[in-house]
Amino acid sequence: MTGLKSRELHLKKYPKGKPTTDLYEMREVDVREPGDGEILIRIVWMTVDPYMRGRMRPDVKSYIPPFQLGEPLDGGAVGQVVKSKSDKFTKGDYVVGFNGGWREYYTGAAEGYQKVDPGMAPLSAYLGVLGMPGMTAWAGVTQILKPKEGETMMVTGAAGAVGSLVCQIGKLKGCKVIGSAGSKEKCDWLKSDLGVDVVYNYNEFKGSSGALTKFLSKQAPGGIDTYFENVGGFQLEALLNNIGFGGRISLCGMISQYNNTVPEPGPNNMTNLIGRGILMKGFIVSNYMNLMTEFIGEMGPWLASGKILFRETVYEGLEAAPEAFAGLFSGDNTGKVVIRIGPDTA
């Protein structure tokens, strides 16, 4: 053993409905030495993301295994290498990977990590705009929606980590962008800071797809060409009433349904996809990890030049992770949610 102690959060029960802060147990464990091909990391930042809710449903088959009761949770993290038994990294390197979250130290395979430059961007950005959310936004737009200049793009969850980047990429590609959010503050940020052309508060439509259909038809009389889906529900139904011929839909998430204990009825207008020749494709970001270099090559210059902006909702300390995760499903955050676990420098 290393002589180090690490706190980590374990899942003690699965949620029913929205996740609550009493699902977890904090434990202190001994930190083990890295073996061949492994590294020991001091975690600096961790992330919570909506996909983790799916990992709390052991009865549902998915692309990623469910969290196990009595075991530590896991997720994306940025940290500093404390010890290395890998040729890939040396002590002091900063790295990012999909493992290592929900704890203070992590020992594991070096293969799942990439070195990052703390001088190019804040370390937390490698969990957001330069990490999985940024890659998700970029891939969903460039590889599925493939927008053309002058087209109209619609984005739900537009003030979130992924949605806010989709909106900006859409503008950079020359689109008119329509975005939705759940508060006046978020709507104001989208319009004033990010330059989204049309912004609406979905709460004002009270779950009525008919009212939203009429609103969207006025904003896009020629039809909506591309749609980035983060939410689902009545907004998807309204979109399907306004999708243009040859439209493309990128299915990233449906957060409005993640906590349902009883399945809600689906849109009743799916037949619109047929006659209008619509492409609708679901995806997960790991499908496109082979394009990481291309993503960084485009996103990096946008970020450096100020063409892409990002906002973070920051929580302090490992003990804040349950609250941060619950907040994802209550609309508490704007932009990327990150938790600071330790200081940037040792």
Is the domain spanning 5-128+311-340 CATH 3.90.180.10? The answer is: yes
Whether the Cβ atoms of residue 1 and residue 30 lie closer than 8 Å to each other:
yes
SS3 320: helix
Specify the pLDDT at position 2: 86
pLDDT below 70 — which residues of the chain? Answer: 346
Counting every residue written for the chain, the total comes to 346
The tokens describing 140, both together, are: 């969903």
- Half-sphere CA count of 260, side-chain side, radius 13 A: 13
Specify the pLDDT at position 260: 86
Nearest 5 degrees, angle CA 96-CA 98-CA 103? 85
Specify the pLDDT at position 113: 95
Q: Could you report how far apart the first and last alpha carbons of the chain are, in Å?
A: 20
C-alpha dihedral, 113 to 114 to 120 to 126, nearest 10°: -40
Query: Distance of alpha carbon 336 from its chain centroid, rounded?
Result: 7
User: Do the domains 5-128+311-340 and 132-286 sit in the same CATH topology, yes or no?
Assistant: no
* Domain with residues 132-286, CATH architecture: 3-Layer(aba) Sandwich (3.40)
Nearest 5 degrees, angle CA 153-CA 251-CA 314? 85
Specify the pLDDT at position 302: 96
Whether the Cβ atoms of residue 306 and residue 129 lie closer than 8 Å to each other:
no
Sorted by where each begins, the domain ranges of the chain are 5-128+311-340, 132-286
Query: Residue 126's closest CA among 137, 115, 139?
Result: 115
SS3 301: helix
Whether the Cβ atoms of residue 320 and residue 310 lie closer than 8 Å to each other:
no
Q: How far apart are the C-alpha atoms of 205 and 169, rounded to whole Å?
A: 27
- Per-residue pLDDT of 16-69, as tens digits, reads 999 999 999 999 999 999 999 999 999 999 999 999 999 999 988 888 899 999
Q: How would you class 122 by CB atoms within 10 Å of its CB: exposed for 0-12, middle for 13-18, buried for 19 or more?
A: middle
Whether the Cβ atoms of residue 195 and residue 166 lie closer than 8 Å to each other:
no
Q: Position 15: which residue type?
A: P
Specify the pLDDT at position 63: 83
Q: How would you class 129 by CB atoms within 10 Å of its CB: exposed for 0-12, middle for 13-18, buried for 19 or more?
A: buried
The tokens describing 74, both together, are: 């896991």
Q: 296: part of which helix (H) or strand (E)?
A: helix 292-304
**Tokens 């203070």 -> residue:** 104
